[in-house]
Amino acid sequence: MNGPYSWNFQYANIDPHQEHFRFPEVAVIVSCYNYADYIGRCLDSILKQTYTNFKCVIVDDCSLDRSVEVVEGFIKSHNLEGRFQLIRHDENGGQMEAFKTGLKHTEGIFVVFVDADDQLFEDFLWTHVKAHLNFMPVAFTSSNQFQINEKNEIIAGMHPDLSHKGQNTVVRPLPLQMAYWVWATTSSMMFRRSTLDIIMPEDSRPFRICADNYICHFANLIGGSLLIPTVHGSYRRHSKNGFSINPILGGRLPTGDLRQHPSHVTLLECILAHLLKYHEQFISLLSLKRFMYALSYILTPYDILFDNDNIREIVSLGVNRYVLFFLTNLTFLQLSVLYFGRLFRKRNVSRKVPLDVETYDCAYL
């Protein structure tokens, strides 16, 4: 559990049309709020997937524009009833609530959340399914993305947040006391439903926007993740986006105003509360040792030394306070080493440009 590490691997020779076993169904959940201008292209990109064992549910979160009309027209014109389904919220609940609604109406073993203004390339589902089936199991995968604008112009050929090293990169569970983000965006990911089933929050309100902030950190804490350096979709930056409205200035800068982003404290509080409420399930699935590791990646030594409601609840579960204190201090030591290592790392050294990032015909966009 010492952080990200890289590992080269080759996909096995899997043919999705072999008949002696079944490939897993994928649930594609599209969340939409006032994206009538973009959702048609989004759905068309999903329909063109080379991996065909999927069901797509579109959750409209009380859009005020023509989004519902566009979706209904798309489904009818392509005769997709049963494979593409529109679900309409009675009231606006935000992104997390839309994700939860989509999960209730799908059964796929793997789950893809797509923002209605983004697009997937034709090989997106197959690339992610192969990654999940041919390597050490992880909670989710995240691939690279083009960044595009309102006019479908490519404004960046990669997503700088994806912290790969030019190769497929495993991200092991990381301490959450220090904020980090190493993945691309929601529409770049494929999750295991079994992980989502145990981490989705009951209260969606803290994550009306940027729901992936909670889902990715919690999922990675439980089962790790895999970064895929090649480009398999496009992420749209535009003025109507709920968060990512900043222009690209260069480098790795926030896509939106971080003052509008759910705070890291809120993230930690929500994850800790969920772990404690469902501790029996987590201990059964992770083991007591791994459960304590998870707690040590959220708490601080101060939290453990000075009694508060959370610590009293943890102690009441039979979790040894002193072992947890030791693990948490060990985590902080690891964080200190990482921090000071960054301070003394050589500056002005460009990160190696990945050579295996696939390119696509601009006409596709």
pLDDT given for residue 2 in this prediction: 35
Question: pLDDT for 42-64, tens place per residue?
Answer: 999 999 999 999 999 999 999 99
CA distance 265 to 268: 5
Of 248, 232, 136, the residue nearest 189 (C-alpha): 232
Whether residue 150 contacts residue 244, with contact meaning beta carbons closer than 8 Å, is answered with no
CATH number of the domain located at residue range(s) 5-9+24-244 in this protein: 3.90.550.10
Domain ranges of the chain: 5-9+24-244, 266-344
Q: Regarding beta strands 119-120 and 110-115, do their DSSP bridges make them parallel or antiparallel, or are they unpaired?
A: unpaired
What pLDDT, on the 0 to 100 scale, is given for residue 340? 57
Q: H or E segment at 28?
A: strand 26-32
Helix, strand, or coil here: 113? strand
Rounded distance between C-alpha atoms, residue 30 and residue 176, angstroms: 28
pLDDT for residue 306 is more than 80: no
- Three-state DSSP class for 146? strand
Tokens at 339, concatenated: 């921090």
For residue range 237-253, list pLDDT tens digits in order.
988 877 778 888 887 88
What per-residue confidence (pLDDT) applies to 358? Answer: 34
pLDDT at 120 over 90: yes
- C-alpha angle with apex 190: 187 to 194, nearest 5 degrees? 135
